[in-house]
Structure 1
């Protein structure tokens, strides 16, 4: 796996990687992470993969982090 770029963002760490014919967009916030795999055939190089990271996508990623945290806190409360 090769790191192609670290993409700056104030709320989440974004890393673009290349591995096995795919680009991986990895988002990290606190203890949680999300990874999206994109075939290298579906975008025009790493620039094409970076173009996928628009405001609407970032908003969805951040909302998903909130959902992940809420689900985890709920299970800890029920079972902790």
Structure 2
């Protein structure tokens, strides 16, 4: 796996990788992580992959992180883990 870029964002750590014919967009916030795979056949360059990270997509990612956090907290509470 080859790291192509760290993409600045005020709320989320974004790293772009190239691996096995795919671009991997890795997004991290605290202990949570989301990874999206985009086939190199579907885009023409890593710049085009970066264009996918528009405001609407990033807001959805941030909302999903909030839901993931809630899900994790809920299961901790169900199992009396704090």
TM-score > 0.5 by shorter chain: yes
**Pairwise TM-score range, normalised by the shorter structure:** over 0.9
**How many pairs were matched up?**
80
Aligned-partner Cα distance in 2 for 1:48–1:20 = 18
Q: Displacement of 1:44 after TM fit?
A: 1.3
1:10-29 to 2 correspondences below 5 Å: 10-29=10-29
Partner of 1:72: 72
Name the Cα RMSD after superposition: 0.4
Which aligned runs of 4 or more in structure 1 are off by greater than 6 angstroms?
Answer: none
Aligned-partner Cα distance in 2 for 1:56–1:30 = 21
CA deviations on 1:13-72 (whole Å, 9 max, x unpaired) are: 000000000000000000000000000010111011111000000000000000000000
TM-score (norm 2): 0.96
Aligned-partner Cα distance in 1 for 2:53–2:68 = 20
Flag structure 2 segments of 5+ consecutive residues without an equivalent.
none
TM-score (norm 1): 0.98
SS, match of residue 70 in structure 2: helix
Flag structure 1 segments of 5+ consecutive residues without an equivalent.
none
